[in-house]
Structure 1
Amino acid sequence: MPSSRTDLPSFAAALGDRLPGTWTSEYHRHAAYEDQFPLAEQVWDLAHVDWAVSEFVLQHDAVLIGPDEQRLYVIDRPLHRDQFLVAPLEPDDDQVKSHHFVGVSEPNGIAVPADPVRAAMRVARRLLPRYQRALIAVFDNALSQPEPPHRPAPPQVSQVVTLTWYDDGALGVPYASVPEEARMPLYAHGFQYHPHQAAFLLPAAYGDTGRALRIQAVAQQLAAHGIGVNLRHFPAAPAAAQPALTARPAIGPAVPSPTSSALHR
């Protein structure tokens, strides 16, 4: 960026004198590039003022402090020596937190001519009204929701159904671990009972999308009855080079089949 102009402090003071209400001007000269960050990070703008402060070394700036916690940031406009940039700053209030800005549109800054009279008219007409609306919205949010709206933890449940992706691609749950109240919802949403595997299994023929929709529906219905639903893999961390197994050896040892046991006896 070319060398900074020398008329910024006088322009900022003259601009403040012509704005509605009482405004004071503070001028800051930057000894190092990092000195611009404390104020630049408070700029309430997602347009060309944000671009200017992020892309150029600003050798100085000015702040106009006005009524109702309004603060205006004034800098040279890069590459336009006949103009300045004026942008609102976020409120400097310990009660205002980041979540209070959610849903509030940035008031954004504007470019103004180097003539303080014309610049003041443009700021008063175009910038201050939307800045004041944004401040009111943020302060209202701070009053109505002082703390962040953190999501509460889910309630504890006494019964849980753990659906399992097995390493052979089967998706289901051993019959013995299914609470009685959960059996009919599983069956109603496509889970089929396989006696020789002692498990409810969801057919692969439904496809990934179909199975995902049925899992979601089961989870919603069981949650309404106070039953939690987990989804896990078995084994938890299969080795990359592990050979594929058939369905019966993979599931059989983990969940002994009552029918097989009876035959052995």
Structure 2
Amino acid sequence: MTSPRTDLSAFAAGLADRLPGTCSSEYQRHAQYADQFPRTEQLWDAGHVDYIVSQYVLTHDAVLHGPANQRLYVTDRPLYPHHFVVAPLAPDGPHIKPHHFDAVEEPNGIAVPEDPARAAAHVARRVLPRYEQALQELLDNTVAQPDPPHRPGPPQVDQVLTLTLYSDGALRAVRERAGRCPHDAVRPRIPVPPAPTSVPPAHRVRGQRSRPSHPRRCPAAHGQGHRREPTPLGNYHQRCPSAGVTEDRTNDQPHALIPLPHLESPSATLAPPCR
């Protein structure tokens, strides 16, 4: 709490007498800290005067009432015993609403010396022009837009996509229905393409068509129509027992017949290869 100065009332009266137009001074002493709020909440300042009233306990202040609904707030400047602060107060009235202050720059206050004549010169040159301009813009807004603008509500959506960025740089996308808890959402799955049904080109021999994977038949050994399990492609030998020959499928080369060494008769008729 700052120690109250006894000359604030005299300074405010002397400042009001020296300002342009007809001004009057209203001095008020605060019995408790909350008594300063009704006036400080009307302060039209975004600079150091607003900082002073929000950080210090002020035991008294004064309001100067001027022409054209102008009001100036006067109080001590803490830590500076030879200075006061003067700042504009925002106008009040039933036709002035919060949206009228949009896009209107605060006129802000200044620090002035304790001499009323010098202080009046600073206020007339630096505060009053900005104050008059801000008041005119505010009144123009009351005429142009007396009621707050109507803004429609946000559109309703069926689904919400939530993106989560982790510390390692990974990004996770979770899609949930509107109105549901994000923790109940199911993580979207990436569709897996179906496996190829034909033999890849790497297993084909140039000039040869790809072989379908149907069961092979050996009519001499098992009779017509008997089906065997399909044999995978690769390096293998398929043997037809009744004919005594082996169909060499090494490197998938067709129709290479190799006679076996245990044939009983060299004149044995070779059966066609198993297909």
* CA–CA separation in structure 1 for the residues paired with 2:79 and 2:48: 12
Match of 2:47 in 1: 47
* CA–CA separation in structure 2 for the residues paired with 1:166 and 1:99: 34
Match of 1:19 in 2: 19
**Residues 22 and 247 of structure 1, relative CA distance in 2, 3 Å threshold:** same
* CA–CA separation in structure 1 for the residues paired with 2:131 and 2:161: 57
Which structure has the greater CA radius of gyration?
2
- The letter for the 1-side match of 2:16 is G
What do the CA deviations read for 1:7-43 (whole angstroms, capped 9, x no partner)? 0011001000000000011011000000000000000
Query: Is contact 1:69-1:92 (8 Å) kept?
Result: no
2:120 aligned with 1:100: no
2:171 aligned with 1:148: no
Match of 2:176 in 1: 233
* CA–CA separation in structure 2 for the residues paired with 1:45 and 1:235: 43
Q: Could you say which structure has the greater relative contact order, defined with CA pairs below 8 angstroms and 6 or more residues apart?
A: 1
What do the CA deviations read for 1:23-64 (whole angstroms, capped 9, x no partner)? 011011000000000000000001000000000000000000
* CA–CA separation in structure 1 for the residues paired with 2:80 and 2:17: 24
Query: Is contact 2:86-2:109 (8 Å) kept?
Result: yes
Q: Which runs of 5+ in 2 are unaligned?
A: 164-170, 192-275
The residue matched to 1:68 in structure 2 has which SS? coil
* CA–CA separation in structure 2 for the residues paired with 1:129 and 1:235: 53
**Residues 75 and 89 of structure 1, relative CA distance in 2, 3 Å threshold:** same
* CA–CA separation in structure 2 for the residues paired with 1:240 and 1:82: 62
**Residues 237 and 48 of structure 1, relative CA distance in 2, 3 Å threshold:** same
Q: Which runs of 5+ in 1 are unaligned?
A: 170-207, 212-231, 249-265
The residue matched to 1:131 in structure 2 has which SS? helix
Match of 2:69 in 1: 69
**Residues 242 and 101 of structure 1, relative CA distance in 2, 3 Å threshold:** closer
**Residues 246 and 141 of structure 1, relative CA distance in 2, 3 Å threshold:** closer
Instruction: Give the TM-score normalised by the residue count of structure 2.
Output: 0.59
2:41 aligned with 1:57: no
Identity fraction in percent: 55
* CA–CA separation in structure 1 for the residues paired with 2:49 and 2:188: 61
Which aligned runs of 4 or more in structure 1 are off by greater than 2 angstroms?
152-155, 162-167, 232-248
The count of residues paired between Structure 1 and Structure 2 equals 182
**Residues 242 and 77 of structure 1, relative CA distance in 2, 3 Å threshold:** closer
Query: Is contact 2:96-2:142 (8 Å) kept?
Result: yes
**Residues 239 and 30 of structure 1, relative CA distance in 2, 3 Å threshold:** closer
